[in-house]
Each structure stands twice: as structure tokens, then as C-alpha cells.
């Protein structure tokens, strides 16, 4: 059996990943990638300069300490835009996932009322502009693609690729199967809406199950010491005065 050599991703692959993350986070202007790259290097140089200008504490090797602090500051400045980008991406995907069951319900209503999928997407893009602007923007782009003459399956795949959520991928696959086998789209959408709701309910239950573990650290190290001082402190002071 021949083993395949595992190599690190090339610079082009890393660039494509960052550009995809920028696109899914909502930063789609042509200058987003140059601005992001400039922000990373500017942050690294700024924090390195600040670390070099700060006075060092008395140490055995102050020059080495200053260099180490500058390197650490440069690494932090270089990583901060990437962390911010990941936070923006997660926030946008969470907003879209939150509004997805409502989108499916309204899509079922539009289809059962006699509208086509193209008309339904355009109508829902206007309706969701007040409640979920990220999802409304994606629906508007999908409607534009369909209006420009692009195929429905191709436009839906582009829609799922721009969002990057498994629930949206399964929705596109479901619509593709419904169109291929000639089944009713409304029934498939209703089943998908119920499945998305169950998944969201399970995610909420998982988040609620770990709340106790997350509260353990602040309770033990921040709240209990203060309560101990308030409740037991006067007794210790009285005992100390009595013994003295």
C-alpha cells in the first residue's frame, strides 16, 4: 500500500480559503481581500512597534525580553483580523440559520398559493429585509441569478455555496431531487422545515446542557469567595477580637 504524502496547504489554497471566508462573511467587494491582507500586516507592525517602545522591567536580558515581546505582539496583531473574520462569519451564518425555518414555511405558503419558486424567492427577499438582512441579501442574489436566465439548480447551488451551511445544502439537494423526480415541492419543503426545526431544537438543548459547566468557573472563583467573605467575615473578626 502506497502512502500519500501529507503536505501543508499552498499559498494559493490559503488565499482561496480566506477569500471564501470573506465572501461568506458578507465582504464581497473587489477590495475586500487587499484590505484584509493590509489589516493583518498593519496590525502586526503596529503591535510590534508598541512592544518595542514599551519600557521593559528589570531583567537579566532586557534586549531579548523586548524582542520576545515584539514577536508576540506581531503574532497577536497578525491573528486579530483572522479571529474577527471568523467571528463575523459565524455570526452571519447563525443569523441565516435562525431565519431558515421561517423561510421554508413562507416558501411553502408561496408555492401552495400558486407562485413559482423564482417568484417566491423574489417575494421573500423583500419580506426578510426587515427581519434577517443577511438572508434577504442572499435571496436577492438568488432572484437576480434566476432572472438573468441562469438555471434553477445552478443558481440554488451558488446560493448554498455562498452561505456554507449544511442545512442550506440539504435544502438545495431536496429541491434538486424534487425537480428531478417530479414530486411536489411544497411537501418536500414542509418536511425540510420540520427537520430544520428539530435540528435547531437539539442545538438549543445541547447549549442548555452545558450552561451548568460554563457557570462552574465564575461561581467557584468569582462569586463564592465574595459570599464567603460577606457571610463568614464578621464571625472571624468577632472570634479574633475575643481571642485578642
pLDDT of residue 80: 92
pLDDT at 4: 38
Q: What is the SS3 string spanning 24-89?
A: HCCCCCCCHHHHHHHHHHHHHHHHHHHHHHCCCCCCCCHHHHHHHHHHHHHHHHHHHHHHHHHHHH
The pLDDT of residue 90: 92
- Positions in the chain whose pLDDT score sits under 70: 1-15, 55-62
Q: Residue 88's pLDDT is what?
A: 92
Res 10: pLDDT? 53
Q: Please say whether the beta carbons of 43 and 77 come within 8 A.
A: yes
> With a threshold of 0.95, does the pTM exceed it?
no
Per-residue pLDDT at 15: 67
82-112: pLDDT as tens digits: 999 999 999 999 889 888 888 888 888 888 8
Amino acid at each position: 500500500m502506497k502512502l500519500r504524502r501529507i503536505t501543508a496547504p499552498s499559498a494559493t489554497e490559503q488565499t482561496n480559503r480566506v477569500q471564501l471566508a470573506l465572501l461568506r462573511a458578507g465582504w464581497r467587494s473587489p477590495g475586500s481581500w487587499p484590505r484584509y491582507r493590509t489589516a493583518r500586516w498593519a496590525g502586526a507592525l503596529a503591535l510590534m512597534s508598541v512592544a518595542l517602545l514599551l519600557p521593559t522591567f528589570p531583567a537579566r536580558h532586557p534586549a531579548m525580553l523586548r524582542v520576545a515581546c515584539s514577536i508576540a505582539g506581531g503574532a497577536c496583531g497578525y491573528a486579530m483580523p483572522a479571529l474577527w473574520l471568523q467571528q463575523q462569519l459565524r455570526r452571519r451564518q447563525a443569523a441565516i440559520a435562525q431565519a431558515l425555518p421561517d423561510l421554508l414555511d413562507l416558501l411553502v405558503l408561496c408555492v401552495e398559493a400558486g407562485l413559482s419558486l423564482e417568484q417566491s424567492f423574489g417575494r421573500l427577499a423583500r419580506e426578510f429585509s426587515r427581519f434577517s438582512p443577511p438572508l434577504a441579501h442572499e435571496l436577492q442574489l438568488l432572484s437576480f441569478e434566476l432572472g438573468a436566465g441562469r438555471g434553477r439548480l445552478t443558481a440554488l447551488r451558488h446560493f448554498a455555496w455562498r452561505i456554507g451551511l449544511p442545512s442550506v445544502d440539504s435544502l438545495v439537494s431536496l429541491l434538486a431531487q424534487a425537480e428531478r423526480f417530479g414530486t411536489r415541492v411544497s411537501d418536500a419543503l414542509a418536511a425540510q422545515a420540520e427537520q430544520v426545526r428539530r435540528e435547531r431544537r437539539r442545538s438549543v438543548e445541547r447549549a442548555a446542557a452545558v450552561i451548568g459547566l460554563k457557570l462552574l468557573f465564575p461561581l467557584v472563583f468569582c462569586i463564592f469567595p465574595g459570599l464567603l467573605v460577606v457571610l463568614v467575615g464578621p464571625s472571624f473578626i468577632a472570634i479574633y477580637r475575643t481571642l485578642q
